[in-house]
Amino acid sequence: MRSPRLLAAAIATALAAALLWPASPASADLNGPVMYGNPGDVPIIGQWSLGGDDIGVYRPSNQTFYFSEGYSPLVYGNPGDVPLVGNFHNRPLSHLGVYRPGNQTFYVQYKDPVMFGNPGDRPIVGDWNGDGIDEIGVYRPGNQTFYRAGYPPITFGNPGDVPLIGDWNGNGIADVGVYRPGNQTFYLTGYNPIRFGNPRDVPIVGDWNGNGTDDIGVYRPGNQTFYPF
């Protein structure tokens, strides 16, 4: 995601699902499976270098972010936090953060903490207005609703779905979607469903080819491998 938006991803969204449900690329041209990380890691997607999205993992056991492309690991957060990745400062590269479920608070690098959401919510991150800066939000599993800070809520999906955020059409504005673990299917607003992955896979979202449009994929915890669609 040029300016990553998951949960994701994914990111935060998919990432949150990996920690709370268990759900952020080797480079912008992720054109095949890539193995990265250790058992128990959570996938993250972000822009660590100019050019496009990269892969990484968050290790809950030591609250550490590990990045592909040879960058040094970064310790950030507390035990139980959910990792976040986003363009929170309108700069070329991604910044990191965490969401603390115990107090429903977002902690982002170089920004003041923000409390948003209710107990049981899952954090999401996306550019809701196309200004190039990612904002926070939450997905509420109880009513399948996306709550975007400062913008109207969107209800989408079924009980048990995993929330997704991405720019599906390349217009610079984040859209919503869900991944249905029961049938390994992605449901993206405005598009036909796409079945991809295996049971127990974790959904991921990123711009794998650098064309300005976010694509789907999965991370397979059993072999610590990223599979782009």
pTM: 0.87
Q: Class of the 12-228 domain?
A: mainly beta
Burial label, 127 (beta-carbon count in 10 A; 0-12, 13-18, 19+): buried
Query: Do residues 174 and 185 make contact, with C-beta atoms less than 8 angstroms apart?
Result: no
Domain ranges of the chain: 12-228
Provide the pLDDT for residue 29: 53
27: pLDDT strictly greater than 70: no
- Residue 119 pLDDT > 90: yes
pLDDT tens digit sequence for 133-162 = 999 999 999 999 999 999 999 999 999 999
Q: Is the pLDDT of residue 10 over 60?
A: no
